[in-house]
């Protein structure tokens, strides 16, 4: 086991081959990757057998069999119909052994939830599948636990419709590819590549989180500071690790501020330009070969290389919210328990051209100021923090903009 990994040095591996060559009986080796002894094995025959992950149809059968066995041994499952099994088989590319493990783990979740025997729910199974996946990605990227729902994001109806289409693509991808035969039409490009484009604070990360929660997959945000390296070839090595683990991680990869990695290729003037272009070409290759979900977030769509844009199934534009949307964001930003003052004027606050990210900052700091002072979140606290946000944005508070409230911000 582990022949292709880091567990064997060249010396110990050559010693193992010698022992295999002199052993009179059969020897079985197992590993996650293929390996060949080549000419080092002189006296015996070496046969390599690949055990691929089960297909979509096979995974459905395995889920059905394992859940039936679980019902016989420990009680019922709470799955509604066959569609739930198709969801599990489509969403998580697990081996037969991992499916067995996931059912056992889900049974434990169900028992813990009710302090005894209880029906395994859909949520138990999804949680168990996520536990069986993505483990090695934890050391390469930051995991975001999806908590927000559709009601937590304010977007134009056309944008929300696009996000719904992305969720539909994830849910029915395996049916379309495997059962309807589209996989035979495509040798590569079977993954889902998505672009979220728009100014900072317009909801790109929030939308990625909502989609991950909706489809039941883990979301991993790639920290570009830990990926992009000034040393030639290191960026490519880091990316290889991420895509390698993501292949069996059953997770969504989220590249924030993707311009740093997916920017336009440059004219080659020196060796650094040449290697930078090699990294872009490597990324293009990975996007075509990766069968999972990749979300690129960029403040400036025009900065991305055209070759990346051609490989996208979805390109979603996140606009600056209009006044009506801003009012909805303002009123939805404060929890029910927050002590709002009667003078808090959402109509006035909504007139300022701010993003959801700006409004979140203002709402949170105004609550802190209220907790430290009057105990009520009113216009005094809101405008003081609005002024701070304007300062960060390089804007000036003018009497024309603030009218009767100017005394609170001057």
What is the DSSP secondary-structure string of 125-186? HHHHHHHHSSGGGGGTSEEE-----GGG----HHHHHHHHHHHHHHHHHHIIIIISSGGGG-
Q: What is the CATH number of domain 56-132?
A: 1.10.8.60
For the segment(s) 323-408, the CATH number from 3.40.50.880, 3.40.50.300, 1.10.8.60, 3.90.1010.10 is: 1.10.8.60
What pLDDT is recorded for position 32?
Answer: 76
What pLDDT is recorded for position 98?
Answer: 92
3 state DSSP class of 317: strand
Longest pairwise C-alpha distance within the chain: 95
List the chain pLDDT tens, one digit each, 410 residues.
445 444 555 557 778 888 888 888 888 888 777 778 877 788 888 888 888 889 888 999 999 899 888 765 555 665 655 567 888 888 898 999 999 999 999 989 888 877 666 788 888 999 999 888 767 788 778 999 899 999 999 999 999 999 999 999 999 998 898 889 998 888 777 889 999 999 999 999 999 999 999 999 999 998 776 677 666 677 788 888 888 888 777 899 999 888 777 765 455 444 444 445 556 778 888 888 888 999 999 988 888 878 888 889 999 999 999 999 999 999 999 999 999 999 999 999 999 999 999 999 999 999 999 999 999 999 999 999 999 999 999 999 999 999 999 999 88
What pLDDT is recorded for position 74?
Answer: 55
The residues spanned by each domain of the chain are: 1-51, 56-132, 142-317, 323-408
Instruction: Establish how many alpha carbons lie within 13 A of residue 112's alpha carbon, considering only the half-sphere containing its beta carbon.
Output: 7
Q: What are phi and psi of 254, to 5 degrees?
A: -120, 110
Alpha-carbon distance values, 318 to 112, 164, 196, 400, 407 (Å): 41, 15, 7, 29, 34
Q: What is the CATH number of domain 142-317?
A: 3.40.50.300
- Are domains 56-132 and 323-408 of this chain identical in fold? yes
């Amino acid at each position: 086991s582990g022949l292709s990994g880091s567990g064997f040095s060249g010396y110990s591996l050559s010693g193992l081959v010698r022992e295999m060559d002199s052993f009179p009986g059969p020897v079985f080796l197992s590993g996650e990757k293929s390996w060949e002894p080549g000419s080092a094995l002189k006296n015996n025959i070496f046969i390599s057998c690949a055990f691929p992950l089960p297909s979509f149809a096979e995974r459905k059968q395995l889920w059905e069999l394992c859940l039936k066995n679980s019902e016989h041994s420990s009680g019922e499952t709470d799955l509604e119909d066959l569609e739930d099994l198709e969801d599990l088989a489509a969403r998580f590319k697990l081996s037969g052994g991992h499916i067995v493990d996931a059912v056992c783990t889900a049974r434990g979740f169900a028992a813990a939830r009710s302090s005894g025997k209880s029906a395994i729910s859909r949520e138990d199974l999804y949680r168990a599948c996520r536990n069986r996946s993505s483990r090695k990605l934890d050391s390469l990227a930051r995991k975001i636990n999806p908590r927000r729902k559709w009601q937590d994001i304010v977007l134009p109806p056309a944008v929300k419709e696009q996000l719904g289409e992305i969720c539909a693509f994830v849910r029915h991808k395996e049916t379309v590819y495997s059962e309807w035969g589209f996989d035979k039409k495509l040798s590569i490009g079977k993954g889902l590549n998505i672009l979220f484009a728009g100014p900072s604070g317009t909801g790109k990360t929030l939308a990625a989180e909502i989609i991950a929660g909706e489809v039941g997959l883990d979301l991993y945000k790639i920290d570009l500071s830990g990926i992009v390296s000034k040393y030639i070839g290191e960026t490519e090595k880091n990316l290889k690790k991420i895509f390698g683990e993501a292949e069996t991680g059953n997770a969504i990869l989220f590249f924030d501020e993707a311009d740093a990695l997916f920017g336009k290729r440059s004219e080659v003037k020196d060796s650094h330009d040449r290697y930078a272009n090699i990294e872009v070409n490597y990324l293009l290759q990975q996007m075509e070969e990766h069968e999972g979900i990749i979300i690129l977030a960029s403040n400036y769509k025009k900065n991305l290389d055209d070759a990346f844009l051609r490989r996208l199934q979805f390109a979603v534009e996140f606009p600056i919210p209009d006044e009506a949307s801003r009012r909805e964001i303002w009123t939805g930003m404060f929890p029910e328990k927050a002590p709002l003052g009667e003078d808090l004027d959402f109509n006035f606050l909504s007139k300022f051209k701010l993003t959801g990210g700006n409004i979140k900052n203002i709402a949170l700091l105004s609550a802190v100021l209220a907790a430290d002072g009057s105990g009520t979140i009113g216009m005094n606290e809101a405008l003081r923090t609005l002024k701070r946000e304007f300062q960060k944005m390089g804007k000036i508070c003018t009497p024309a903009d603030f009218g009767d409230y100017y005394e609170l911000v001057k």
